[in-house]
Amino acid sequence: MNILVTGSGGQLGHALRRASAASADRYFFTDVAGDDTLRLDITDREAVERFVHEHAIGAVVNCAAYTDVERAEEDVERAELLNATAAGHLARAMKGVGGLLVHVSTDYVFDGTANRPCTEEAPTAPRSVYGATKLHGEEEVLASGCRYVILRTAWLYSEIGRNFLRTMLRLTEEKEVLRVVFDQTGTPTYAGDLAEAIFDIVEHRKYEGREGIYHFSDEGVCSWYDFARTIAEYAGNSACDIRPCHSDEFPSKAVRPAYSVLDKTKIKETFGIVIPHWTDSLRKCIGNIEKEK
């Protein structure tokens, strides 16, 4: 099968390159730029349909998204275009050829007021432009009538790109004192773990007859403060004094979920996926970064 991976220049796209390296399927990695990727503007409906037909694409993994949560509050049109309209283009293209769309969504579709892990059936009520546009993307996929697996994830990080892990590695090495919010709770997700899950589902055709919305993050629960302390510990940056603080001490345009722990029961039982604890994956990722220095 020929598989298109969009947004392949990002964290998840890079991780999917590694996961699929030995696959018997043929992968096409696209983005709007990059020397080692094919160029595809997924906001162009005709370009998407042309690419799908020319390359006989049987499945799409949509990793592309507008992920700048703060900037999205003012750049609403662009966020809607990338997170919703483009998802609709991909979904309708897959509907046209009878293919599968794996669409990556977010915990930001919830309002963050829950006091227990959110299931796939929990009411959605995004409180930010980013969350709203990602929910619109889900709705575009559902409305298309295509075969789909929507994967909601949270707190994604990896060895590359802009993410909380890399920021904390730098700051805990540079600063003597660092304040990190403790009143936002969720689960860090290593991009490599999510990529392996997607690859397993697609490579072994586990999605057949099991289309739907699923949640995936690593196991366990923590605050951003706990996450930062663990990063510093594993990296050996013990000189930095990391202190807890409230979210309102860092005013922002976007409202972030206070509690967005995802219930992964459905994906584990449906696809037989074993999910690592976030601390184990964090240690692995930091080890990879150290090796590359």
What is the DSSP code (8-state) at residue 277? Answer: B
β-sheet bridge partners, residue 179: 243
Q: Which residues contact 263 (CB under 8 A, 6 or more apart)?
A: 117, 118, 119, 120, 215
Instruction: Determine the distance from the C-alpha atom of residue 44 to the mean position of all C-alpha atoms in its chain, rounded to a whole number.
Output: 22
CB atoms within 10 A of CB 284: 15
Which of 27, 130, 214, 234 is catalytic? The answer is: 130
d(C-alpha 167, C-alpha 157), whole Å? 10
Is 27 annotated in the active site?
A: no
CA-based nearest residue to 58, from 25, 21, 35: 25
Query: How far separated are the first and last CA of the chain, in Å rounded?
Result: 37
As a 3-state breakdown, the chain gives helix, strand, coil percent values, each rounded to 5, of 45, 20, 35
Positions annotated as catalytic residues are: 130
